[in-house]
Amino acid sequence: MRYFYFLLLVSSSFVYSQTIMIDKTDFLGTKRLNKPFLEKLIYSKQGAVLDSTQLQNDILILNRLNGVSKATYAVLKKDNSTAQIQFTITENITLIPNASVWTTDEVGAYRIGIYESNFLGKNNGIGGFYQYNGFHSYGLNFRSPQFFSPRYGIEINLQKLISKEPIYFQTESANYQYANTSAELIGNYRINIKNEVRAGIAFLNEKYNYIDGATAAAIPQSLEIDKRLLKLEYRFDNLAYDYYLVEGFKSNLYLQYVVSGNEFQDKFAIGWNDFLLYKKVGKTGNWASRLRVGLSTNNDSPFAPFSVDNNVNLRGVGYIIDRGTGSIVFNTEFRKTLFEKDWFVLQANAFVDSGSWRQPGGTLGDFLSPDTIRIYPGLGLRLIHKRIFNAVFRLDYGYGITKNASKGLVFGIGQYF
């Protein structure tokens, strides 16, 4: 019996001695970030029990904010029962003008814009752009993931995009002027640190006007479609960031239902999932992979929703070389730091992009057809500014090794995935 009481006393003393309350939480290094906003996001608040697991979660939360380049913490014990938490934050520069120039069909094209990714110091994004590629386009965006509370947010997108796009039917193709005018409202709910749900509605007006190329009696030379788009997204995010290095797993599921009253694009559903895996290799290596699997209603229409494109899935393939009602794409690359000093990083990468498509009205067997499979290995460079949000300037060269392959350079901002 005495032995029992002794164990009980020791156990009680151990539990008591290990319970440390947080007396104060402080943020060091913040200039533009709003401290009350940060305090609402974290778990380790004043009056809470000190928990190392929650502190690690807090670091994940802070490092995912647009305004944070790097966050660390220190525990300062005041006595046996209380402690102070100090978060040290290196802030990102988040007000970023952007400009890009390219050529398309011998037309000089450019896009200029400005975007603030930490508006009011509360992780809000606001900005817009103007684009000229022979046509005039523009867009406005406001995004606030914590607009109503740390869990509830909102996003608003307004844009008008006009471009020259190829349309494929049978063995022929034609060029159309494509205009997309849309207004979108999205709400998001963060279930916990790893899981988030987003739901929204968009109203779109699409116009296709024939420019040149092949024609067919069954394919209109002018087409206008009003659409309503319902979307649902589920995100699982277990990524950890160390400046430009990433480790962990992420999954993004996108489901959309589109309602339109046109015979060429009747009501249809579309869904795809991006599976992303990142692994650190040594101190400066990063292995990154993305698998995208998607299907839509299998309408036999030249205006199919999935496209084969340089900027979306296969580097070097060209600008919208094909369309389909299904997509399987696998991208994998190894990123290696060549040079790093203070804020600047020069990174090289070797990649293999591969994919296949289901033709409009086709079968699942299309995914295995030599006519649709594309494989593009290549090399690239990254110029990275560690303290400017998303300041990754990339240059990739992809070289196709499958049937009817092409090759080419691809420029962009941000990592490819």
Q: What is the pLDDT of residues 31-54, one digit of tens each?
A: 999 999 999 999 999 999 999 999
Q: How far apart are alpha carbons 391 and 380 in whole angstroms?
A: 16
Q: Which residues pair with 382 in a beta bridge?
A: 347, 394
- Tell me the per-residue pLDDT of 203-254, one tens digit each, with 9 for 90 and over: 999 999 999 888 887 788 888 889 999 999 999 999 999 999 999 999 999 9
Q: What is the mean pLDDT of residues 165-191?
A: 90
Per CATH, the number for 239-254+265-417 is 2.40.160.50
- DSSP string covering 276-295: EEEEEETTTEEEEEEEEEEE
Confidence of residue 8 (pLDDT cuts 50, 70, 90): very low
Determine contact, residues 172/214, Cβ cutoff 8 Å.
yes
Q: What local confidence, expressed as pLDDT, does residue 264 receive?
A: 63
Cα distances (Å, whole numbers) of residue 294 to 68, 99, 252, 271, 341: 33, 32, 12, 6, 41
Task: Measure the CA–CA gap between 190 and 333, rounded to whole angstroms.
Answer: 30
The predicted model scores a pTM of: 0.83
**Residue predicted with more confidence, 309 or 89:** 89
pLDDT surpasses 50 at 14:
no
**Residue 303 three-state SS:** coil
Rounded to an integer, what distance in angstroms lies between the CA atom of residue 417 and that of residue 415?
Answer: 5
Rounded mean pLDDT, 359-364: 91
Please answer whether residues 129 and 112 qualify as being in contact, where contact means their C-beta atoms are separated by less than 8 angstroms: yes
The overall average pLDDT reported for the chain is 90
CATH superfamily ID and name for 15-91:
membrane protein fhac (3.10.20.310)
Domain ranges (residues) in the chain = 15-91, 94-237, 239-254+265-417
Q: Decide if pLDDT at 17 tops 60.
A: no
User: Which of 92, 185, 188 is closest to 141 using CA atoms?
Assistant: 185
Query: Looking at this protein, which amino acid is placed at residue 32?
Result: R
Contact call for residues 415 and 324 (beta carbons, < 8 A): no
One-letter amino acid identity for 129?
F
